[in-house]
Amino acid sequence: MRKVLTYGTFDLLHYGHINLLRRAKKLGDYLIVGLSTDEFNAVKHKEAYHSYENRKLILEAIRYVDEVIPEKDWNQKISDVQNNDVDVFVMGDDWKGKFDFLKDYCEVVYLPRTVGISTTKIKQDLFTIKNG
Phi, psi of 106 (to 5 degrees): -165, 175
Under the phi-then-psi rule, with left for phi > 0, alpha for psi from -120 to 50, and beta for the rest, what region is 116?
left
Query: Which residues lie across from 6 on neighbouring strands?
Result: 33, 90
Residues annotated as catalytic are 44, 46
Helix (H) or strand (E) holding 53: helix 52-60
